Amino acid sequence: MPPERKYLIALETLFKRKHVVVLDELRHELQTHSRTTIFRVLSSVGYHTSYSHAGRFYTLKEIPEFNDLGIWFWRDVGFSMHGTLRAAAISLVERAPAGQTHEELQERLRLRLHDTLRDLVEAKALGRRLWEDVYVYLNANREAAEVQWAERQRLVRYPVEQKPALPPDPARVIDILLDVIHHPKDDAKATARRLTARGLAITSEQIEAVFTNYGVKKTVRSRSRRSGY
């Protein structure tokens, strides 16, 4: 049997057993330690490298069922149809009508990506603007970014129709209580604007309910701006 045919059969056998593999598994199945050979065989059929886990995982091109954002997860391993984490982040920001906050990107990609976003902004691959103490990442194209920025402001100012009914889920309760710690003098409306700017589904009515349930008393607002992701 020609060597190339042997490698292809071995590759097919491996991926019938496992949807996602690491390099050592490829070496074992193909019985070669040559990276050149392994990636030549992978390239001949098409493959994806994970954007998570430092790109350690591989899958065949035909396996992922990407969602409408171009993301696919196998357990906790993330793949993007756009390739790298940087490319995935850029795609998500560019296609988002109101840009994306770090929290929104983290929810979609299941990764913290502060350093990646900082690098993309420094490389002018993305823009960013500060809204209610939270950075909103925007298209690098100025005109497209202005449209996203206007939509972000609209969503933050008129969020009620887009938010779920009371009560908020436990994760949002924690977000509210943490915000109270950092902004003890702010009222429910100020807290709602801040959390909404971060991309969290929350209303001032929900926050008032949490204040009541946990005995949180808010006094007259006295805000101090802090920058952050």
Query: Which pair of structure tokens corresponds to residue 83?
Result: 């390739």
Cα gap 106→137, rounded to integer Å: 13
- Beta-carbon count within 10 A of 12 CB: 12
pLDDT for position 66: 95
Q: pTM for this structure?
A: 0.71
pLDDT for position 215: 79
Quick one: angle between helices 142-157 and 188-197, nearest 10?
150
Start-end of H helices in 51-159: 85-95, 102-109, 114-122, 142-157
83: which strand partners?
80
**Would you write out the chain's pLDDT as a tens digit for each of its 229 residues?**
566 899 999 999 999 999 999 999 999 999 999 999 999 999 999 999 999 999 999 999 999 999 999 999 999 999 999 999 999 999 999 999 999 999 889 989 999 999 999 999 999 999 999 987 889 999 999 999 999 999 888 877 765 444 444 456 777 788 888 888 888 888 888 888 888 777 776 777 888 888 887 777 654 443 444 444 4
pLDDT for position 217: 61
- Beta-carbon count within 10 A of 111 CB: 16
pLDDT for position 15: 96
Give the list of residues 6+ apart from residue 97 with CB closer than 8 angstroms, or none. 147, 148, 151
Return the SS3 of 54.
Answer: helix
Q: Identify the helix (H) or strand (E) that includes residue 41.
A: helix 35-45
